[in-house]
Each structure stands twice: as C-alpha cells, then as structure tokens.
A = this chain, B = another copy of it.
Amino acid sequence: MNEPLDDAATYSPRKYRTPDGAPADIVIFTITSQARNTVKKSLPTRQLEVLLIERKGWPFAGQWALPGGFSKDTETIIESAKRELQEETGVEDVHIEYLNVYSEPGRDPRGWIISHAFVALVHENYLAGRRAADDAADVRLFPVEEALAMNLAFDHNLILQDALNRIRHQMLTTTIAREFLPEEFTIGELYQVIEAVVPEFVERNFIRKITSTQSRKGIIEEVRDSRGELKMSNRYSQRAAQLYRFTDFLPQLSIYS
C-alpha cells in the first residue's frame, strides 16, 4: 500500500503521477434485417453490426473508432457510458453493461488514459434514423467481421473482439436475445437472432427444447390476446406462427448439475 498515513487535515494529494483521464468506450451492437427479394414472404437475412465513428482529430485522425468520451467526476463510469450512448444514438434505456478495463501503458498517445469499455445492445429500429444517412456520414454501422478486419483506432480491435466473445457467450447462456427482438416474436425470429451472433449454433429440435423441455420450460411463454386465444403472426411466413415473449425466468446452468 502506498497510501499516505496522515489524517484528513494533513492529507495532501500524492506526489505520484495520476491518470490523465478515464473514458468510457461503447461497443454498440445491433442486428439488422434485410428483406430477401423473393416473391413470397420469407425470413429476412440478419446480420450483427457494430456502430463506429470516424475520428476527426489527433490521434488516429481518419480512422474508425468506437464511440466514447471522458467521464466526469460527478458521475459513475456507467453513467458516462449511458450519456455517450444517448449522444451518439439518441437512445436511452437499452441494455448496456460493463465489459472490461483497458490500461496498457501507451495505448493512448495523449497520456495515461485508462479506458472502460461497455457493450450496448440496441434494436435496429432505434437506429433507423441514423441508418438513412449511412454512406455519407461519419457514423456508420459495420458488419462485425468487416469491422474486425479494419485497422481501428487505439486498441479498439481488441475491445471489439472481447465484446464479441462476451455476447457470443451470453447469447447462449442468458436471454440477451430479447434485446434484439420485438416484445413478441416467433421461434423463427429468435433462432435467427441466435444464429446472427453465434453462426455455429445449430439445434434441429429447437422449438421442442425451448417450449417443452422440463428444465427450460418457462424461458419464453406463448402470447395470448384479450380473449385468451393464442396470438399468431404471419409477417414472415405463409403459415401463421405462434408468438412468444420472454419471461423473467433464467435457468441456472451448471457443469455439475
């Protein structure tokens, strides 16, 4: 411990160097849907995308980076992340969680800057306004694989990879799929969202696992209308599909169960 031992009256700020800033950087993921050009109704193709901004000034001018900004002494770091998310996308009250701290000396040429990365999951509808201005803008959605292949500013390639690993794991072990879906969705949509994030996901008897396996039953529930009739949707298919919604239930996973 290298803390001074004096009391409040005699306490003086330490003579050691202090950090030059503690910013929050945000990895904003969304899943875009692209209707396929078939004559008949069909499922859209879905793709996991990440929001990047083009840097204007030094350092890394001209390169793409994660949105972010310095935190203030009047807010927690998650509050600054939420503020930044609001400024960048206009959305509030979406899923945002802390990812990791990045403190490698020299990671930022401006000084000793310790960055805190967050992951935000945003439904594509919330970003609809931004998308319109796509090509010209300095704020854009990139498919994740494409973004990873770019040379991003700072250590943002690393942060993005960490964020991707995190949501891939969470997609299978938690109900974050709900963040990319409307309140009521079909089994087909849910399956596509999982696939968009975890391409290797394959589960032939998906509907049975999720609806009638004892240990999993209750993660999602059927939606009924005011008369108690099962509510269906045919937005993506000829044959109407049952609508479901997530409940608050999350099964406890265990390797020893």
Contact = CB atoms under 8 A, between A and B. Distances in A.
Interface of A: 1-8, 11, 13-14, 16-22, 53, 56-59, 61, 67-78, 84, 98, 100-101, 103-105, 109-112, 114, 116, 172-175, 194, 201, 203, 206, 209-210, 216, 219, 250-257
Given A75-B105, A77-B101, A101-B77, A57 B13 contact: no
A246 B2 CA distance: 39
A13 B173 contact: no
Given A70-B2, A255-B250, A19 B21 contact: yes
A216 B61 contact: no
A257 B203 contact: yes
A61 B7 contact: yes
Contact of A114 (B22, B74, B111, B175): B22
Nearest to A250: B255
Contacts of A74: 105
A231 to B, nearest CB: 22
